[in-house]
Structure 1
Amino acid sequence: SESEQNSAGFPPIFATLLGTQSDEITTFNQENYNLSLSTQWEIDLWGKIRQGRVAGKQQYLAAKYNYTYYQFSLTSEAAKLYFSIIEAKQLAANAEKKYGNAKIIFDLYTSRYNKGVISLKALQQSELMLNLSKSDLENKKSISKSLIREARVLIKEYPNLELETAKDFPESIPNLPYLLPADIVKRRPDLIASQYNLLASKALNKQALRSLYPSFSLVGSTGASSNVKDLLNDDFSVWSKGVNVFAPIFNAGKLVANKKIAKNNKEIAMLEFVNNLLNAYKEVESGLEFDRSTQLSLNLLKDNIILSESIYSTTFDEFEKGVSSIEDVINANNALFDNKNMLATTERIRIEQRINLILALGGGFTYKQ
């Protein structure tokens, strides 16, 4: 019968010995909680950690002074752009006057040609001068507009052509002393940053050397392992303390290589500092010499403009009377405005060089005569 057999077909006696299949599973719960705290403090016996802290501080100061120098440089470039706009406007104004003179000559020659006084070749020469003057005027205007838009973008405004500037350059700038102290370049932020980089590289070199020495650390740990009820019971807590000593054995080659790299970086930083210092003195010396020579050039150009205006006026009067040729008028007109353009460019260069000199000196300065 079904009651005498199990599901596998074994007799009841074998089912008793082998056991019967059941869906019941016996389970039990065990809860265990751990609480631990570990500490480790390295003893800076050789000063390795301290040198790293010193290097970090020097690197921060170097970055700070580099940022200051970049701000200073950006301000200088903005000032140069401003005076470039003044120069461009003056060149455009000179080109417009030159075009006006060419238009007067062309109209005069057109009238003479219609009367049969001059040849077609002479009229064509005057027209050629007029077209060249017109082309030069448009180029000068385009350059001026481009610089104005660049300045508008620099001040974070829409690049239209509305920008107020002075019409002329400053009539005079402060005179320079004949003697300046040699340590005035120490005020330059980039030199200060270079010096801090050198100090940081020296500290990193010392740190790399001290990393070859054994390190000592104080270690300690405490904790407990039990159920929640007895977790804070002292009977279930454990603790330990001691001193760890680590010596570079397997990674000694890596540390030696790092030491060589740090030494090379220190030498590179030293060479960069010396090179930056010499370049600073060179910039100051060149700026002082150029500043004095530019003033002489300006005085000569102003005298040339007075002479050129007189020559052009005389030549044009003779041209109207038929005494001078059109070539004489063209040459006199070109000489006049070439000198005026050179004056505007020289004034802009003089101010740019003074800005460069201020940048080389690390800012403005005062002196007693």
Structure 2
Amino acid sequence: MRRALGVVALGVLVTGCVGPRPAAPVATAIVAPPAWRTALGPGSPVRAEWWNAFGDPVLTRLVAEALANNPDLGIAAGRVDEARAAERLARAQLSPTVSVGVPTTDSRALNAFGTASTNLTATPSITASYDPDLFGRLRNASAAARAQLLASEGARDVVRLAIASSVASGYITLRALDARLAVARDTLAARGDALRIARRRAETGYTSNLELHQAEGEYRATEQLIPQAQLAITRQEDALSLLLGATPRAIGRGAALTALVLPPIPDGLPADLLRRRPDLFQAEQTLVAADRSLDSARAALLPNIALTGSAGVILTTALANPVGIFSLGGSVLSPLFDGGRLRANVDLTVARRDQAAFSYRRSALTAFREVDDSLAGVQRSGEQAVAIRGQRDAYAAALRNASNRYRAGYSSYLDQLDTQRGLLTAELALVQANADRLTSYVALYQAMGGGWTEADVAAVRR
């Protein structure tokens, strides 16, 4: 499976104390946009909401809220509108230009008898001009603008996918911090029991004060883990609130970290699925736009033919009847000497086209690397979690034995203390390994352009 892809704040009052955080809103009405990805070709749009695969309704709601309210999406949508207007402007250059004018003149003259006469003349006319674009300069410019529009839509989809992935990863990190806080509290409770036993034994003279001070030091060392975890949780909630397009607030919780579903990965994912990645589509369309711009720049070196025509009527008080006028003509404009401007523009466009080609190649190589890294992360973090889980179970059993021996007086407090430290380290490492594995799944979905379905895999294999 791993090698199958290797081939190809407004209104917020800030005070000096930390008060209660705003509760997470119950935004059950928020749904993800029905077409959260642009159709990039036959069979390419991602229909499945891949974040549902983790089986947590709260995560689904958070992603939907982020896709509806994140300001970065508004910026990306504005760039798409800008590119769409530019594409319409370039396409309009292919159409004739028609204008209407009604110039008027008012003339006065004196005759031989000293009598003044006034003549009012109006000339309504319609003027049309058209560039037949014999060498494709305007058509290529329009095609380049169209490719730029598609590239901007791909860039918007990159933002959408990044936001969904960031929310999913941030939520997993938040649940991991919750698990770390729970481990710290459970360990603190166990250390509290050990401290009470050590104090009672020291007061009765059964042991020296050395064990009491050691137990108290371990209790304080565990106690400081709780505010540390709470601070990390607050910062993570603030980061998620920013992704949701909201002011800092408490984030709702759903399934625990260990209850999140590990999505199944089909064996032998085809490399062609990578073509659905929006960043690859953006790079491809940027290359197409650069190539079309080069054709347009080369066509500018050739003669340009323009056709013009006008028709109108002269209305004047000096004549009893109007006089019709019309004209039809054409012009051929060919560059003779421009100081090398057109040739320099061609060279400039060639350089940009070459940059776009290398950028597309880099995007493709990056896609393969990200998929391979994500698949390796899913596999290796899973193996690591299994090993750490065995270590945690061994330390838990050792702690039971050490505690019983210490209470019975067969061993010193240091044996129990060392085992407690090892168990705490193993439990925290297990939380991190589980979070890393889930985050690797998110990274894999993002690397594959937003997930896959069995029908997608089967269609590409055919």
The equivalent of 2:206 in structure 1 is 117
**Whole-Å separation in 2 of the counterparts to 1:124 and 1:220:** 102
The equivalent of 2:128 in structure 1 is 39
Change (3 A) 1:38 1:85: same
The equivalent of 1:69 in structure 2 is 158
Quick check: 259-268 or 34-43, which moved more?
34-43
Change (3 A) 1:321 1:35: same
Q: For residues 257-276 of structure 1, what are the structure 2 equivalents within 5 Å?
A: 257-276=344-363
**Whole-Å separation in 2 of the counterparts to 1:158 and 1:242:** 65
* 1:265-295 residue CA offsets vs partner (Å, 9 max, x unmatched): 1110100001110111111122222222222
The equivalent of 1:23 in structure 2 is none
- Residue 258 of structure 2 is aligned to residue 207 of structure 1: no
Work out which of the residue numbers 421, 425, 446 in structure 2 matches 1:338.
425
Work out which of the residue numbers 376, 396, 399 in structure 2 matches 1:289.
376
The equivalent of 1:7 in structure 2 is none
2:257 and 2:435 in contact (8 A); partners too: no
2:119 and 2:318 in contact (8 A); partners too: no
2:126 and 2:310 in contact (8 A); partners too: yes
Between Structure 1 and Structure 2, the one with more helix by share is 1
Paired letter, 1:265: R
Structure-2-length-normalised TM-score? 0.69
Quick check: 89-98 or 217-226, which moved more?
217-226
The equivalent of 2:253 in structure 1 is 164
The equivalent of 1:244 in structure 2 is 331
**Whole-Å separation in 1 of the counterparts to 2:189 and 2:174:** 23
The equivalent of 1:93 in structure 2 is 182
Change (3 A) 1:41 1:114: same
**Whole-Å separation in 2 of the counterparts to 1:64 and 1:283:** 22
Structure with larger Rg: 1
**Whole-Å separation in 2 of the counterparts to 1:160 and 1:266:** 47
**Whole-Å separation in 2 of the counterparts to 1:223 and 1:246:** 27
**Whole-Å separation in 1 of the counterparts to 2:442 and 2:333:** 57
Paired letter, 2:340: G
SS of aligned partner of 2:450 = coil
Paired letter, 2:249: N
Number of matched residues? 342
Structure-1-length-normalised TM-score? 0.86
Paired letter, 1:82: Y
Percentage of pairs with the same residue: 21
Give unpaired runs (5+ residues) of structure 2.
1-114
Change (3 A) 1:261 1:158: closer
* 1:206-238 residue CA offsets vs partner (Å, 9 max, x unmatched): 10000000100111123444437969x542x43
Give unpaired runs (5+ residues) of structure 1.
1-25
**Whole-Å separation in 1 of the counterparts to 2:186 and 2:213:** 21
- Residue 147 of structure 2 is aligned to residue 58 of structure 1: yes
Paired letter, 1:187: R
Quick check: 244-253 or 300-309, which moved more?
244-253
Paired letter, 2:185: E
**Whole-Å separation in 1 of the counterparts to 2:429 and 2:419:** 15
**Whole-Å separation in 1 of the counterparts to 2:396 and 2:444:** 34
SS of aligned partner of 1:31 = strand
Work out which of the residue numbers 281, 306, 311 in structure 2 matches 1:192.
281
Work out which of the residue numbers 277, 280, 295 in structure 1 matches 2:367.
280
